[in-house]
Amino acid sequence: MVLCPLFRILGFGSKVIFAIFLLASSAHAASCVQSATSTIISEQGVLIGIILMLTVILIAIAYSIGNITSNTKLTVFAKDELYHLFFSMLMLVGFTAIVGFSCSTMEYFYTSTFENLGTLKCYTPGSELSSVSTCYMKLVKSDAEQIAREYLTQYIDNQMYATFSMTVQIPLLNAQTVSADSYKKVYAQQYDMVLNSFVIPALLSINIQKMLLEFISANVIQWVLPIAFVFRVFFPTRQMGNFLIALSIGLYIIIPAMYTFNLAMYDIASLDCTSYAGSTYDIVFGDGCGTYGFWNVGRLLPQAFFLPNLTIAIFVTFMAAVNKALRVIG
C-alpha cells in the first residue's frame, strides 16, 4: 500500500529526469558553444545525482505518508517539492540555451558592427564570451606592460643624461663645468610622473581584471553553477541556490559581455587618434599617436578605472533582478 505511490513518484521522477537529459542533448546540438549542461554533469554529476535521488525519495515518502494519514500538508509539500525539482532541472537545461543565445547574439553584434570597422582581433564565429574577453584583456595588458617598460627605460636614460657633465681646466684660472643635458632631468620627471600616476596603477588594475576573467572562465560553469543547482534542489537552501544561479549567470554572461564590448571600444579607439594628433603631441613623448604617446596612455585609463565600475553596477543590478525573479517563481 505504501510502496505503490512511492514507485509511482519514483517512476514519474525518473521519466522527467530522463526526458530532461534528452532535451539537454538536443540543446547541445543546437548550441554554438560547448554545452553548459554536459560540463556541469561531467564535473559534478555524481553530487547532483545523489541530491536528486535523495530529493525524489523524500518527495515519495512525504507523498505516501500524506495519502495514508490523509495529511494534506504532506501531500501539498510533496507536490510542491516535485514542482521545484522539475523547475530546477529545467533551469539546468535552460542554462545551455542561455549560453547558446548569448553566443548567437554576440556573433550578430560583432559581424554587424565591428567587422565593418576591422576590429576582430579576438573574435571568431562560435567564440565564447569568456574567451573573447580574456583575449582582449591579454592584449590590453601587453600594451600597458610595453608602455611601462618604455617609460621606465626613458626615465633612467634621461636621468643619466642629465647628470653628464664636462669640466674644462684652464691654467692659472678656475675649472669650468658644463652640463649640456641637464634639461633632461625635467624629461625624466615627466616620464616618472606619468608612469607612477597613470601607467602603473592602470597596469595593476588590468592585471587584476585579467585574473578575474580567467577565474570566471575556469570555475563558474565547473563549480559555482553545479553547487547552485544542488542548493536549488535541496529545499532548506533553495534561496541560496537562487542567489548562486543569479550570480553564475551574471558572471558567465554579463561580465564577459560587458568586458568584450568595453575592450572592443578600446581597440576601436586606436583608429581615431589621427583626428587629434595635433593636440596629443608632446615635446617629451613626441607623436601622441605613437606606440608610447599620450593617446595610448589615455586609452588605458577608462578600461582600468571607469568601465570596470560600470560593469560592476550593471552586474549587481542584473543579479538582483534575476534573484528576485527566481524567488517569485520559487
- The DSSP-derived string for 87-110 is HHHHHHHHHHHHHHHHHHHHHHHI
Q: Where are the domains of the chain?
A: 1-95, 119-329
Q: ∠ at Cα 292 (132, 213), nearest 5°? A: 25
pLDDT of residue 9: 42
Distance between the two ends of the chain, CA-based, in angstroms? 32
Q: What is the dihedral of CA 296, 300, 301, 307, to 10 degrees?
A: 140
Residue for grid cell 567587422: 115
DSSP 104-163: HHHHHHIIIIIHHHT--SS--TT--HHHHHHHHHHHHHHHHHHHHHHHHHHHHHHHHHHH
> How far is 279 from 282, CA to CA, in rounded Å?
8
Q: What is the pLDDT of residue 145?
A: 94
Question: What is residue 204's predicted lDDT score, i.e. its pLDDT?
Answer: 94
Contact indicator for 79, 12 with CB cutoff of 8 Å: no
Confidence at residue 176, expressed as pLDDT on a 0 to 100 scale: 63
CA–chain centroid gap for 243, Å, is 18
146 within 8 A of 293, measured Cβ to Cβ: no
Instruction: Print pLDDT tens along the chain (330 aa).
Output: 433 444 344 444 444 433 333 333 333 333 344 545 555 555 556 666 777 787 788 888 888 888 888 888 888 888 887 877 787 777 776 666 666 666 666 667 666 666 666 656 777 666 677 788 888 899 999 999 999 999 999 999 988 887 776 666 666 667 666 666 778 888 889 999 999 999 999 999 999 999 988 888 777 777 787 778 778 777 778 888 888 888 888 888 788 888 888 887 887 777 778 778 777 888 888 888 888 888 889 889 999 999 999 999 999 998 888 888 877 776
Q: Which of 17, 25, 53, 19 is nearest to 230 (CA)?
A: 53
Say what the pLDDT of residue 199 is: 94
Q: Tell me, what's the pLDDT at 19?
A: 38
Cβ neighbours of residue 271 closer than 8 Å, sequence gap 6 or more: 117, 119
Residue with cell 595635433: 278
Which amino acid is located at 111 in the chain?
T
Q: At what angle do helices 307-329 and 238-249 cross, to 10 degrees?
A: 140
